[in-house]
Every structure is written in C-alpha cells, then in structure tokens.
A and B are shown apart, each in its own frame.
Chain A
Amino acid sequence: MKYLKIKILSILLALTFVSCENDLTEELKGSLSANTLVSESDARALVDGIYNQMLTGGWFYYGSGQMVKLNDGITDVMVEGRTSNLEQYHWTESHADMVWSSAYVLINRANTALELIEGMDESRFASPGAKAALMGEALFLRSLAYFDLTGLFGAVPLRLEATKDPDELPGRTPIGQVYAQLITDLETAATDLPPVQDGVGKATRGAALTLLAKIAFRQKAWSSAEEYIDQVIDLGVYDLFQGQYGELFYESNRKDNEFIFVVMSLGAEYNKSNHHIKFFTPWGYDTGWSETGVPLQIYNMLDPSDARNDVIENDLSGAYYAYVRDYGTAADWKGFALLTKYSGFRRDVTAPNSIWANYASSALNQPVFRYADVLLMKAEVENELNGPTGIAYDAINAVRDRAGLEGLPTGLDQAAFRTSILNERALELVGEGHRKDDLIRHGVFESTMTQYLVDQNYPNPVTVTQDYRVYPIPRQELDLNPNMEPNPLNK
C-alpha cells in the first residue's frame, strides 16, 4: 500500500517537472509600445508629451529661465549674475548643453508623434481636420525647437525621423536648409491649426505665423516677414493687455489674449511647473536662488512714469528679510535693479505672503511670443521696408501708450527710428529672451556687448566677436558624435 503511495507521489513529482515551459517574453504592464498607440486620444497624448518637454521636468529649457539667460542674460538688458562666467563671456561647452539635449528630446518626441499619428486611421479621429491639427501642433513645436537651436548654435543636425538606430549619427545641416524646412512645416501648420485653441498653451495659427515672422526676421526677409505679421494681426485674436503693465505677468492674467504662445505651468508640483521664481530672484529678496537683474544703464533709461517700472524695480521695501530692506535700493544692494517679471510678488496678487508656503513652483507663464512683440516687429518691418511711416509710428506707440508713455517724437529718420525700436524692445521684452536676436539683427551685437563688459567693470573684459553669436556645441555631442563639427568657441 505505501509503495503505491510512493508511486503516485513519484508520478506527481514527475508531472511537476513537465509544467515548466515559458517563452521568457518580458511583459511590461506599466508601459506602452508603438502598436498600442492608435487612437485620437493616443495622438493627443503623444502631442502632449512634446509640450511636456518644454519644461523638461520643470528645470530645463523653458522650465527655469535657461532660454531667457542664454538669450537675454548674456546681453546688456540683463545681469545673469555678476560673477557668472556666462555673464562675463567665459563660455564653456556646458553653458547651453541642457537646451541642446532638451530640444533634441523634444524633436525626437515630435518625430515619433508625427510618424505614429501619420499612420493612424482617419476614422479614429472625431472630426475632420483633427488629425492634421494635431500634426500641426507637433510641427510647430518641432520648428520652435529648431528655431531655438539655430539661434543658439547656428547650423544644427536636422532630424525629421524618430531615432531607431543608435549607431546612425547625424551631422550638421546647412542653416538655410534648416530654415527652408521650418518654413515648409510652419506653413503647413498655419494652415492646419485653428486660430484659437481650447487651451491657451496650445499651438495656434497665430503662433505658427509669429514663428514664421521670427524666422523671416533672422533672415531679414522683410517682405515675407510683413506678410506673416499682418496675418497675425489680421487674425483679430490678440490685443494688448490694458491693465497695469506689471499685472500682465500675474498668475491671474496668464490666459490673457496678449499671449500668442506661452509655456504654461501648473503651479502645483515640481515637474509640472516652471521654476522661474527661484532663477530670477536673489536670495533674501524673497527667497530665490539667483543674482539676476537689470543693469542700471537699462534701468536708468526708464522714464519714472513708465509702467514697466513695475517689473524693473530698484525699491527694496517689499523684501522678505529685514537686512535686505535696510539697503533701501537694489542698486545699493547688488549694483543692479531687480527684474520682477517672474519674481515672487508677481506670483499671485491676492496672496502676496504665500511665498514660503508655495516656494516650490509657480503657475506663471513663460511667454514665448506675445502681441507687444508682434507690434514692435510690425513697426520694425514697416521702417525697414518703407521708413518711419504712420503705420510704423502707430505700431510702436500702441506699446508705449500701454506703458503710460507719450508717443515717439515725430520726424525721426529711419536709423533713429530703428534705434528707438531696439530700445523699446529692450524695455518691453526684457527677460523674455529676444535681445540676442535683436542685437544681431541690428548688427550691433559685437560692439554693444564688448562695451557692456567694459562698462560693467568685469576683470579682463572679453572682446566680443562674431564667434560669440553662437555657443560652443556641447562637449557630450562632440565626444559621442564624430559627425558633429564644433563651433568657433569650442576651440
């Protein structure tokens, strides 16, 4: 009897040995693969994933003022930090590396999204044109990334397909070819995108047209610039914010229709919010991290009645710490005025003492394009094509009027009018990342910046040459990609 039991047990044991096959396929339940992404909501999510990269976790690209520092911080409108190597033009291969890699992650996301959405069945989309509009958003975002990259680095690798093979390494694409591609893509996007979206953070026809105008400005293609600018204006979607100037940058006005394209911020959690507050606020003023501000030369250009005094401040009476308040003025404290477009007191007008409780993040926009910029571009393009006409005066005076200023003196010649526009742009757009392009376009980048470094009394001031129009290519790219050519400052 007991041997029967043993026999049965043996058979059972032997059976357990048989039930052992498995194909070892790894099933990852928490992630997706290309063949699961098929519907309109997947397409929306893929496009949202591109927008997400604008903040790069809240810390890079448009997330913490990097674009502002690299485009404004190195110019005469902004002190990026008096002892900073970036400020003093001792640029290294790492100063712009995060923008480089953030932008290319964005580009790969856009390429992936475009490929996948392209392959999706039209029937999976609720309305005709929805698919094209989503692809339009992706094209706009990819074009903006290339616009940023070419502005900072010159000719860059133009990648239009999702990365599949890590051994296929790209080289530079001639800059004209890059811009030609952007113009094609953006014209498609401008056609397919609606003039108004259901969220002000989404790309629109106006955003695509503004970017086209910006590209035309870089190329000084004035007549096509004029066309694009007029199209933006003719959309009738935008106007100038008519409240107190400084309030435009309050959280409460983040959806104002002066903004054409903005990178929005949820203001609740670290990785969904931008971190401008910390990067545009000195420690002790109201608990920021950075020694940024506006040089006194620019501050002194401000008329006392200029509403833009709201965001370029010298008065420290509102500072958090007593010892800071005791200095009286920022000029006495730091040697520059404070730029408070993104600083703590702009966070929420209704709760000015909420700084500590909500230190981590803010719901402030990072403006990319706004209507005041377009109006100043209108004035500029008109002046370049036809001289300082009434149209040009009207455009610039609209912006001055909103700032509480008189119109420009009449009778300026074209050159004087050009300079007035440049100065107006400095005061109106400081901290929004346009100055480097402006100086280069006006041909005064090298001279202005050489003089600025001397004026700031920096030790052994650098003589700024054309080489400084672009940053060094990040070291990592050069090290890992033998097909990539360095920039002048890499050497």
Chain B
Amino acid sequence: MACLMCLMCGIALAEGFPKAGLPAEILDISVSGKVTDSKGEGLPGVSVVVKDSNTGTITDVDGNYRLEVPDNAALIFSYVGFMTREVKVNYRSVINVALEENLQELDEVVVIGYGTQQKKDLTGAVSSLGEEDFNIGSISSVEQLVQGRTTGIQISTQSAEPGGNFVIRVRGNNSIQNDNQPIYVVDGFPMDNLDNSINPSNIKSIEVLKDASAAAIYGTRGANGVIIITTKQGKSGVVNIDYNAEYGQQVVSNLDAYDFLGTREFTENDNLIQRVNGAMEMYSPARIDSLEQYFGSTNWLKEAFRDGATVNHQLGISSGRENSQVYFSAGYFNQQGVVPNTEFSRYNTRINLNQKMFDDKLTFGLNTGITYTKTNFLGFNASNLQTNILRNIFADARPFVPNRLDNLTEAEIELLGGTRPISPLQTIEASENEAKSMYILSTGFVELELLEGLKIKALGGSRIFNGKEYGYLSQESHIVAGTLQPGEAALTNNQSYDLLFEGTINYQKRLGKHGLNLLAGYTNQKVIYESFRAGAREFTTNTLGWNALQAGAIPTTPSSGISERVLISYLSRAIYDYDDRYLFTLTFRRDGSSKFGANNKWANFPAAAVGWKVHNEAFMSGQSLLSNLKLRASYGITGSERFRVGLAQTQFQANAPVTLDGDNQSIGTVPSVLGNNNLQWEETTQMDLGADIGLFKDRIILEFDYYVKNTDKLIVTKSLPPSLGFGSIITNVGQIQNSGIEILLSSNNVTSKNFSWVTDLNVSFNSNEIKEVLLPEGSEFLEGADLKPIGQLDRAPYTIIKKGIPINSFYGYKVRGVLQEGETDALQPAAVPGDALYHDIDGDSTITAADRTILGHGFPKYLAGLTNTLTYKSFRLSFFFNGVFDADVLNINREIGYRTNRLESALERWTPETPEGTRPFRNHSGQYWVNDELVEDASFIRLKNIALSYDLPVNKMGLKFVQNLRLYASASNLYTWTNYSGFDPEVSSRVNATTNLNIGSGVDLYSYPIQKSYTVGVKVKF
C-alpha cells in the first residue's frame, strides 16, 4: 500500500505543475466595491475570487475590496454564514454586493475526518455542534459543553468532583471489556482520552461521527464513535479580542437526601439490637441524656461540605491578513470543590497559525495547545476505605461525637468512652493528594495543490503528557488500609509521547453533473507510555510531605514501566455525487496494530453509503412544504482495539518479591501472561438509515436515524480452570447488538426583527442486547461486576452477562418479606423470626443462588434534550432540559446506613419489639444483600441550564473600540424531577480504578454529589 501511495505521488509530479493565473488575452480592469450584509453593514473578510481562476482578495474591515480582473470575468463573493453570490463584471468598475445571510443550517461545513464536507452532502450520521449549541455556565470540560445537546451520545457524570470524569457512550455499549469511550480527534490528532486537556472555550465545533460510513475512516478505532474537535482559527482581515470572565458558586443540591440518625435514635437503636441479641446495652438512659445534653446531634454530612466556587478567565485574540491567520488564546479555570481539599485548576495557552504561499498553492499550518492542570483530590473510589470521606460518614461517624474534638474536657472524653474519638473528617485534613499534568498537543501540516483540485498533505503531530501525582498521609492519621500508610509519601510520574504522521492525497473535481472527491492516505501513530513511582516513610516531621523523599528513613519499593504501541494505517475514501441528487460514499481503511496477535496483525474496515436528495428531483419542484428531503443509508465495519498492550504475547515478569532469609528481599521471575497469537480487534458492523427533512424553507428541521450495530469478536478475558496455573487469557468471543432511533428537531418558532424563539429537541433511544457470550461449561450466564462495599458485606456480583439481555443488567434476589415470630417458612425452613425471605424465582421450593433475577439496568434506554432560546432585542434567554429515562441505580449508601445503624433506614429493621420493620434483623446474609431493595428508578428530567444574557448597547454608550459587551447569568442543575432518593440519579461510582463501567455502571456508593451551580459572567469583544 505504501508503495501505491508513492506511485500516486509520482504520477502527480510527472503531470507537472499548475499554470499561474490566466493568460492576459483579455483586458484587465480594476474593480472595487463594498460588500455588505442585508442591513447594509460592511462585511470584513469576505472572499472575492475571479471565477475559474486563482485570483482573488479579501474585503477589509469596512467591507471594501479592490481587484484587477478581466473585464468579462465573473466574481464570486463568499463568506461563512452567507449565501455565496456570483456577479458578472460586465465592464463595470464598481460592484457593490449585498450578501444574504444563510439561514439554512444545511449549508454548514462539517468536519468528517481527513477532510470536510457540506452538511447537505453528508451520507453518514454525523452530529455537528457549533459554539451556539454549547452549554453555558461553569464549564470545565469538553464533555460538559455538549452534554444532552445532540442525539446518540450519552454523557453522564462519573464523579462530580472537580476534574472528575464522565461516562460517554455513542450509540450504546459495544463491548463488555474494552473501553467503550469514543476516540477524540483534536485538530486532526486522534487520542483515546481528553483528560481535561482541552480548553472548552477554544473549541469552534464538535462533530460526532456515529455510523459506520462516517467512522470507518478511523478503522480500528471507529467503533465507539468519533468525536472530532476543531479549535478556533484566526480570520482574515479582522482583529478580534475576546475576553470572558466568569464567577460561579456551587452548592450540593440535596444534602437532606439522606436522613442520619440523631444521638438519641442512634443510641437507642443500638441498645435495641444489643438487647435482642442478649448482649449488654452500650448506652444507659442516663448516658444517652448526657450525650444529648453535651453534644446534641452532629450531622457529619453537613459538616463535611461547603460551598464550591469556580473562576474562569479566557482571552482570545484572532487576527489575519489575506495569506496568514493567527489565533491566540490564554485561559485560567479554577474550581474549589464542595468538599474541602478538592480543587481543580487549568491553565491554557494556544496558538493556531495558518499561512498560504505561492498563490495559495501551498498552505502551512500549526496548531499548538499547552495545558497545565492541577487537581487536589480525595479518594472517592468506594474501595478507598477510610480515605473516602463519605464512607467515613455513612459507615463510621457517630452522631453524638461533636465536631470539636480538639476542644473536649476530660469529663466529655470520659462520656465518649474514655478515648478521644477520631474525627470522621480526618480524611480531609490528614491526606494530601495532588496531581499535576502538563499536556502539549501540537500538529503541523503542509498542504500543496499540485493540480487544480489535487492536493497532497503531510501532517505531523505530537501529544506529550507529563503527569505527576503526589500523596502524603500525616503521621498522626488513623487511616488504615488506604493507598498510603500513615507517614508515607509517594510520587508517581506518568509520561506519554504520542507521535503521529499522516500523509494524504485529495482530489476534488466537478465535471458537469458529476462531482468527485477522492482521498487516499497513510498514517502512523506511535504511543510510548512510561511510569515511575517512588516513595518513603518514617519521616521525622509532617512538614516535608512529599517534597523530600530522602528524609524518610525507609524508602518504599520504586517501580517503573514502559510500553509502546504502533498503529499503521492506509485509508481511502471516494465521494461521488450525480446532479446534486444522488450521493455515494465509499470508505476503506486498513489498520495494523502492534497490539494484535502475531497471526492477526492487519484489519480491514470497509463502508459504503448512499444519499438521495429527493427535494432536488424534478417531481419535487413546485411544492413549498419540503425545502429539504434527503434519504441516507449506510453500511460498514469499524473496529475497537482498546485493550492493553502485551496481551498477545507469553511473558515473564521479574516482579515477585520474596524474602528467604527474613531480612533481605529477592525478586523472583514468574510467568505472567499466557499469550494469544490470534488476538484481534472487536468488529462492529453497522447499518444506518436516515432522513434529513427541512420544512417551510427550513424553518423546521428534522433529522431521523435508525441504526443496528452488531459488535462481534468481543475482547474477553476467558477464565481458565485454576489448575492450569493461569487465571485467564484474553480472547475474542461474543457479540453485542445495539439498535436505536434518534430524532432531532429544530424549529424557528418565531423570527421577527426584535423577537425570535427557537426550539431544539433531541431524543435518542438505544436498545442493547447481548447476542453471544463465552460461557463456562454448564452455565447460562456470567456474573458481571462485583462489589464489597464494606467489611460486613460479602463480596457479591451485582450485574449479569447473559444472552438476550442488555449489558449492565442488575442481578440479585427479590425480597419477599421478613419472617415474623411464631411463623415458619416452607421455602426457607431454616429461617428464624427476623430473617429475610426471598422469592423463589426458579420455583424449585428452595432459595438458592438460582433465585437471583434481573432487577434493572444501569444504562438508560431513552435520552432527551430540549432547548428553548428566546431573543428579544439584546436579551437572550435559553433554558435547557435534559432527561434520562428507563434507567436504574443501585443505592448502596442506604443499605450501608442500615447495616451500620447510621441512617433512618436502620429504624426499618425488624426486631421482636418492632415487628413492622421491613429490613431483616440479622441483615441479609452472604450475597443476599444484592436484592431489589437497592434498586431505584434513576429516570429524571433536569433543568440542566438556564441562561440569560444581555448585550449592552456599546454604540450608544460611545465605546467605539468595543464591538460587543455581553453580561450573562446562568444556573445549572437548578432542579431535577426524579424519584431517586439519593443525592442524584446521574451517578456511576467506581469501586476502584479498574471498575469496568461497561458492566458495572449505575452504582451509588459514597459518590461525590452533583451540584447546583450559579454563574455570572461578562464577555467583551474588541
């Protein structure tokens, strides 16, 4: 293939080079004039080109232009957002032109990967979002910018802590084990994760490639969808300085979601349990009185939270001349979390350059963004035991312990049990965790037009990441079993070098009714990842923290790692249209990955699509209802290779420490991976049928898509019988289907001089079904994600992987009730009064593990977003609702609050004295705690954002140099309509860093609660 590419270059070179300009057979005259908009305002930066030539210019700040042209030529005036006009010169020397604004959204240019295309010519399913579609408010990440705004993409908060992550799914979950996040392509650079490295305010547009035809050009990385991010560029002829300042405040929406027991309830309930157990009561009536009198009741949740704040400053400067444009930006964003000691800051700079040379035959460009982020965090993984502040509160904190532990009298300490209690908030104070990350993303390209329409482009880029994580746990800390021991400091350094080269040839030609756009290319991307960790403990002081590891008497074992992966690809695409009526797209990509097994190094990804612009047919003329009707169909194959390196090879690791003399350690070498030479990518075959409809001159726009996606050869860890001595190998088995419908409706309800009202509605439906799954002998399903939330609960699986049901289906028992005194139960003869009774799902008259059933599912079936934007003169009001329907969450906080006697749910415990109690006296034993009592409906409708802005009349105020001055205020997450009883239904706690959210989403366990946010800001444009 590489050789073929070179052959093509050779042909291009042999053909010679284009002629410059036109031979001067016809007399040139000087033409000047002014280009205005429909209101008569001069338009700067309009491209004025002589038809069929390379001669042209750009209008100045006032919209004026001057050009030498042949006297019989035609001029083409074009400008983004306006209808292009062609005017015959006709021997005139002054030609003034008014351009009509282009209200038809369909004329937008859409970035499609290795090129652009007019939206009206698209044959694939692509969602395109511009600045006007982005969310407003305290936006810290790209994901927040587009959450809820378009169809087919689910973005939900994983953890609402500052700098926290999101779960993103384009058209559902394809894979059980592979990462299902889409890939991101930032200014042509593909990357697996954004990691908060992109400044949202630098973004000009975001495109989501959803179907196979659109995504196949990204081959083995296209199956999860592709999110293309394009940053802002300078514009010719204008200098703009934009400055935006924002301040926001965050409060936790509903801390009252959980009712904690007060001192009296807690102690009396504890006594009750002890009494029934025949044990000694811990709290005498006198002591309870004293505790209440001295300490009242502390609500530790309220003690732990504060108001959060965000500050955002963004500066953007754009300028350009005819041949060169530059965009420069600098930004600062800071968020103080609602839990003390959680904070996220980002500092950005960006410079984007564009230079044209040699009569625009040659274009150079460079896009560079540098980002530095700093995150202070606490453990919000459920497994972080005592480093998770919410775990301390739900499982440990006692209400009679006052939040003034340094300030207790001897008598008070005696009353508290003789020892000074440890503050449940110790986590906040005792541990310091910080992460600093630096990202440099730089892409440069050179593009050469060899012949008219034939362009050759080389693009090189790199993304350098240098991240450090620091941790120190104070010596006095009582936190045990955290990631650090008391008095331990650790430093981790992760680096990656992601290097890209791309060469593409593009040929565009229009011959009468035939339009052709051909692309061929080669890409090579290499990622080198390195990590290093060192630490020490036994410091003589807390002062040094992690800043001087050599001060610790005992160094902890250092570790380091390095991995490399290479992806080499050949890509091609042909787009053909006939008469602006019939559209055809063929795409083919061939990918070779170092991660694949030796027998399966190369993968092919073909796709095809057709489009039919029905409204351009003769039979459609004369009707005025349908201004646009395009039918689309596509079919193709994409892949996913998002698994770790080193899974295909048999390996040994020198990583088995042991001491054989009791003093010194030696490092043993052990077989670590049983290789699989056949390991390959997952393969997704997708069919998409779509229709784009415009009604009443496109005042109403409707987009409709139906898709069926089958993902095959799933990457799975195949468990091996333990007797083989290896736990598992990675192999390709299984199939998942996603099918769905997406509807997007946009309506200009009112458009008048002073008032406009636009409504945008998007609805997505996705249905997921496991079609085939690798099963051990004799079993009908696999257990999915499992969990051990606290010591008292047994580790138990809570989801199931089974043919015919959606991925991430919750799985457990159904509670029938509690056995009352004097009763026995036929199904559970061993049950004693107070024990939970369960439904006999399999009808075999005993209660066993076979009586578990499907209790719900963690991924929503329906997503919707509704935006109304009202404009009156200089005021703009928008309100945006988003909704998630048919989803469930396991609220484990409540179960823990009952087990640990901390929440009101503890009062629902059955005892002989409270026979009306619905929760079993001796708790659910074993794995029975995973039952339908945990499952809650997580559907919600949220007033996600409401924003009001006002453009000050700068002209009237005499601020000559100010083009625009906008004041705005917005509120996010203002109100949520839901039946969910926890903090918020949009939650997906990670149990630990390796929790698989494809099969383990939808758990609420000590997660950082989502906040309401109020923001005010000012935007100035000079």
Are chains A and B native binding partners rather than an unrelated pairing?
yes
> Residues on A close to B: CB < 8 A?
2-3, 5-7, 9-11, 13-14, 16-18, 20-22, 24-34, 36-37, 42, 44-55, 97, 100-101, 104-109, 111-112, 156-157, 159, 162-163, 166, 169-170, 197-202, 254-255, 264-266, 268-269, 271-272, 289, 322-323, 356-357, 359-360, 363, 365, 460, 474, 476-477, 479-482, 484
Distance from A198 Cβ to chain B, minimum over Cβ atoms (Å):
7
Whether A33 touches B650, Cβ cut-off 8 Å, given contacts A13-B448, A170-B723, is: yes
Q: Which residue of A lies closest to B5 (CB)?
A: A17
Q: Give the interface centre of A268, A357, A360, A480 by most chain B CB atoms within 10 Å.
A: A480
Is the Cβ of A46 less than 8 Å from the Cβ of B649?
Answer: no
Q: A322: which of B418, B653, B673, B776 is its contact (CB, 8 Å)?
A: B418
Distance from A360 Cβ to chain B, minimum over Cβ atoms (Å):
6
Is the Cβ of A16 less than 8 Å from the Cβ of B501?
Answer: yes
The total of interchain contacts (Cβ-Cβ below 8 angstroms) comes to: 259
B456 at the interface (CB under 8 A from A): yes
Q: What are 28 A-B contacts defined by CB distance under 8 Å?
A: A2-B358, A14-B13, A16-B501, A18-B2, A28-B563, A29-B563, A31-B652, A37-B669, A45-B667, A48-B658, A48-B667, A48-B669, A49-B668, A97-B722, A104-B723, A108-B724, A112-B671, A163-B674, A163-B726, A166-B729, A170-B724, A201-B658, A255-B661, A264-B662, A272-B659, A323-B417, A360-B485, A484-B721
Docked CA distance A6–B721 (Å): 64
Docked CA distance A338–B596 (Å): 55
Is the Cβ of A476 less than 8 Å from the Cβ of B656?
Answer: no
Chain A residues near B361 (CB-CB < 8 A): 6
Is the Cβ of B830 less than 8 Å from the Cβ of A460?
Answer: yes
Distance from A227 Cβ to chain B, minimum over Cβ atoms (Å):
28
Distance from A483 Cβ to chain B, minimum over Cβ atoms (Å):
9
B670 at the interface (CB under 8 A from A): yes
Chain B residues near A36 (CB-CB < 8 A): 652
B296 at the interface (CB under 8 A from A): no
Is the Cβ of A100 less than 8 Å from the Cβ of B648?
Answer: no
In the complex, which residues 639-673 of chain B have their Cβ closer than 8 Å to any Cβ of chain A? 645-646, 648-654, 656-662, 665-673
B257 at the interface (CB under 8 A from A): no
- Count residues on chain B whose CB falls below 8 Å from chain A CBs: 88
Is the Cβ of B17 less than 8 Å from the Cβ of A169?
Answer: no
Is the Cβ of A169 less than 8 Å from the Cβ of B522?
Answer: no
Docked CA distance A50–B2 (Å): 48
Q: A359: which of B480, B657, B777 is its contact (CB, 8 Å)?
A: B480
Chain B residues near A24 (CB-CB < 8 A): 566, 568, 592-594, 596, 601
Chain B residues near A265 (CB-CB < 8 A): 659, 662
Chain B residues near A20 (CB-CB < 8 A): 2, 501, 522, 524, 568
Is the Cβ of A30 less than 8 Å from the Cβ of B668?
Answer: no
Chain B residues near A198 (CB-CB < 8 A): 661
Is the Cβ of A169 less than 8 Å from the Cβ of B672?
Answer: no
Docked CA distance A108–B560 (Å): 26
Whether A32 touches B566, Cβ cut-off 8 Å, given contacts A13-B503, A201-B659, is: no
Chain A residues near B581 (CB-CB < 8 A): none
Is the Cβ of A166 less than 8 Å from the Cβ of B720?
Answer: yes
B446 at the interface (CB under 8 A from A): yes
Q: A30: which of B446, B562, B601 is its contact (CB, 8 Å)?
A: B562
Docked CA distance A480–B774 (Å): 11
Docked CA distance A223–B563 (Å): 58
Is the Cβ of A159 less than 8 Å from the Cβ of B777?
Answer: no
Whether A480 touches B649, Cβ cut-off 8 Å, given contacts A163-B725, A163-B726, A266-B659, is: no
Contacts beyond the supplied A17-B522, A104-B724: 7 A-B pairs with Cβ under 8 Å: A6-B448, A13-B446, A37-B652, A48-B660, A51-B668, A52-B656, A323-B417
Is the Cβ of B662 less than 8 Å from the Cβ of A109?
Answer: no
> Residues on B close to A: CB < 8 A?
2, 5-6, 9-10, 12-13, 17, 358, 361-362, 417-419, 446, 448, 450, 456, 458, 478, 480-481, 485-486, 501, 503, 522, 524, 554, 556-557, 560-566, 568, 592-596, 601, 645-646, 648-654, 656-662, 665-674, 718-727, 729, 776-779, 791, 830
Chain A residues near B485 (CB-CB < 8 A): 360
Docked CA distance A111–B725 (Å): 10
Is the Cβ of A32 less than 8 Å from the Cβ of B776?
Answer: no
Is the Cβ of A28 less than 8 Å from the Cβ of B721?
Answer: no
Chain A residues near B417 (CB-CB < 8 A): 322-323
Chain A residues near B668 (CB-CB < 8 A): 45-52
Chain B residues near A51 (CB-CB < 8 A): 658, 660, 668
Is the Cβ of A27 less than 8 Å from the Cβ of B669?
Answer: no
Docked CA distance A105–B594 (Å): 29
Is the Cβ of A476 less than 8 Å from the Cβ of B480?
Answer: no
Whether A10 touches B448, Cβ cut-off 8 Å, given contacts A112-B671, A477-B721, is: yes
Is the Cβ of A13 less than 8 Å from the Cβ of B674?
Answer: no
Docked CA distance A452–B665 (Å): 43
**Shortest 10 CB-CB distances between A and B: which pairs?**
A108-B725, A49-B668, A48-B668, A199-B661, A52-B656, A101-B722, A481-B721, A14-B9, A199-B660, A49-B670
Distance from A164 Cβ to chain B, minimum over Cβ atoms (Å):
8
Chain A residues near B723 (CB-CB < 8 A): 100, 104, 156-157, 159, 169-170, 477, 481, 484
Is the Cβ of B671 less than 8 Å from the Cβ of A162?
Answer: yes
Is the Cβ of B593 less than 8 Å from the Cβ of A166?
Answer: no
Docked CA distance A200–B662 (Å): 8
Chain A residues near B654 (CB-CB < 8 A): 32, 45
Chain A residues near B720 (CB-CB < 8 A): 166, 480
Chain A residues near B667 (CB-CB < 8 A): 45, 48
Chain A residues near B362 (CB-CB < 8 A): 6, 9
Is the Cβ of B554 less than 8 Å from the Cβ of A482?
Answer: no
Is the Cβ of B17 less than 8 Å from the Cβ of A266?
Answer: no
Chain B residues near A26 (CB-CB < 8 A): 564-565, 594-595, 645-646, 648-649
Is the Cβ of B652 less than 8 Å from the Cβ of A32?
Answer: yes
Docked CA distance A105–B674 (Å): 12
Is the Cβ of B358 less than 8 Å from the Cβ of A28?
Answer: no
Chain B residues near A32 (CB-CB < 8 A): 651-654, 669
Docked CA distance A28–B667 (Å): 19
Whether A13 touches B456, Cβ cut-off 8 Å, given contacts A51-B658, A199-B660, A363-B662, is: yes
Docked CA distance A272–B556 (Å): 12
Chain A residues near B662 (CB-CB < 8 A): 199-201, 254-255, 264-266, 363, 365
Q: Which residue of A lies closest to B728 (CB)?
A: A166
Whether A166 touches B674, Cβ cut-off 8 Å, given contacts A5-B358, A9-B362, A24-B601, is: yes
Q: Which residue of B lies closest to A100 (CB)?
A: B722
Docked CA distance A170–B721 (Å): 9
Chain B residues near A289 (CB-CB < 8 A): 791
Q: Which residue of A lies closest to B570 (CB)?
A: A20
Docked CA distance A200–B660 (Å): 6
Chain B residues near A52 (CB-CB < 8 A): 656-658, 668, 670
Distance from B520 Cβ to chain A, minimum over Cβ atoms (Å):
10
Chain B residues near A479 (CB-CB < 8 A): 776-779
Chain B residues near A363 (CB-CB < 8 A): 662
Chain B residues near A482 (CB-CB < 8 A): 777
Is the Cβ of B13 less than 8 Å from the Cβ of A11?
Answer: yes
Chain A residues near B674 (CB-CB < 8 A): 163, 166
Q: Which residue of B lies closest to A162 (CB)?
A: B671
Q: Which residue of B lies closest to A58 (CB)?
A: B657
Docked CA distance A481–B661 (Å): 39
Whether A477 touches B448, Cβ cut-off 8 Å, given contacts A22-B524, A26-B595, A166-B729, is: no
Q: Which residue of B lies closest to A110 (CB)?
A: B725
Chain B residues near A10 (CB-CB < 8 A): 9, 12-13, 448, 450, 456
Q: Which residue of A lies closest to B652 (CB)?
A: A32
Q: Which residue of A lies closest to B449 (CB)?
A: A6
Docked CA distance A392–B429 (Å): 64
Q: B657: which of A105, A162, A271 is its contact (CB, 8 Å)?
A: A271
Chain B residues near A477 (CB-CB < 8 A): 721-723
Docked CA distance A266–B557 (Å): 13
Q: Which residue of B lies closest to A287 (CB)?
A: B480
Chain A residues near B651 (CB-CB < 8 A): 28, 31-33
Q: Which residue of B lies closest to A54 (CB)?
A: B658
Whether A6 touches B358, Cβ cut-off 8 Å, given contacts A26-B565, A33-B652, is: yes
